[in-house]
Amino acid sequence: MGFLRKCPYLTSIVWPTIVSQETRFITALTELFEAKALPNLERFLQTGTQGINNDLFTRLILNLPQRINALTIRLTQTILEVDFATLIQLHFSNLRVLELDWYLETKSSLAQVIMSSCPLLEKLVTPLVDADVVTEGNPWVCLRLKVLDLTLCFNSPSTVSHLQPLVFDRLSKLTRLEELCLRAPVERHNYGTVDLRLEYGLDKLSTLRLLHSITLCNTYEW
């Protein structure tokens, strides 16, 4: 990791670590951040964090360079105990790309805080979000979004017909959207997640005139 100290103009780190090296890598990288050795870093992608304790993870996130505008983090059950939204709030005004991969389910309230607090955001990959969070009327994503990858969950099959048109209505306001991916959490596959019939609100997406890619993943019973 010492070679990175000699790269002060580095703007991007993409490092999918393996478990046997992860703690050592995170520790070394955190020390570089604390020493302000990478002041120009704008993009950080870390797809591990398996077995990383809360204290070390907190140190890493709190010391991210302030120029960060693209962040990819995989969070595990251990990391969920940390208030992640609070940790990254310093970067809310800069973030243009935010990709959050929750290894296990988490509360939608945490996702809500993150999704509605980044005014420049153009790409968002969300953790699990309950449909009622999307439809409750409060701001939930930035209207500048061009790419949205949304893992959406309905609490029961009976709520799909009621909530899905409301979800699609909220999505219809994202008129800059170019790519849309709707996912269902695999562990809840018995709950219908997306129904593509017009009576379930599909026609509401006709306002997305810049859309050139739509993907459905892990959807069932539609």
pLDDT tens string 38-78: 889 999 887 665 656 778 888 888 899 988 999 988 766 66
Last residue of a domain, one of 47, 75, 104: 104
Could you tell me if 64 and 128 lie in one domain? no
Helices (H), 36-100: 54-62, 84-88
For 40, the domain range is: 1-104
**pLDDT value at residue 210:** 96
69 located within any domain: yes
Q: How many domains does the chain have?
A: 2
Could you tell me if 120 and 35 lie in one domain? no
Q: How confident is the model at residue 207 (pLDDT cuts 50, 70, 90)?
A: very high
110 located within any domain: no
Could you tell me if 87 and 121 lie in one domain? no
181 located within any domain: yes
Last residue of a domain, one of 104, 137, 167: 104
Instruction: Return the SS3 of 108.
Output: helix
Could you tell me if 134 and 42 lie in one domain? no
CA 86 to CA 113: how far, in whole Å?
9
Could you tell me if 122 and 153 lie in one domain? yes
- Host H or E run for residue 100: strand 97-102
Q: How confident is the model at residue 19 (pLDDT cuts 50, 70, 90)?
A: low
Could you tell me if 96 and 12 lie in one domain? yes
Mean pLDDT of 192-200: 67
* Cross-strand bridge partners of residue 71: 44, 98
Q: List for the chain the helix, strand, coil content (%; round to 5).
A: 35, 20, 45
Look up residue 20 and give its two tokens: 């046997």
Query: Tell me, what amino acid is at 169?
Result: D
In degrees and rounded to multiples of 5, residue 186 shows phi and psi of -60, -35
Could you tell me if 214 and 150 lie in one domain? yes
Residue with the larger pLDDT of the pair 173 and 160: 173
109 located within any domain: no
**pLDDT value at residue 189:** 47
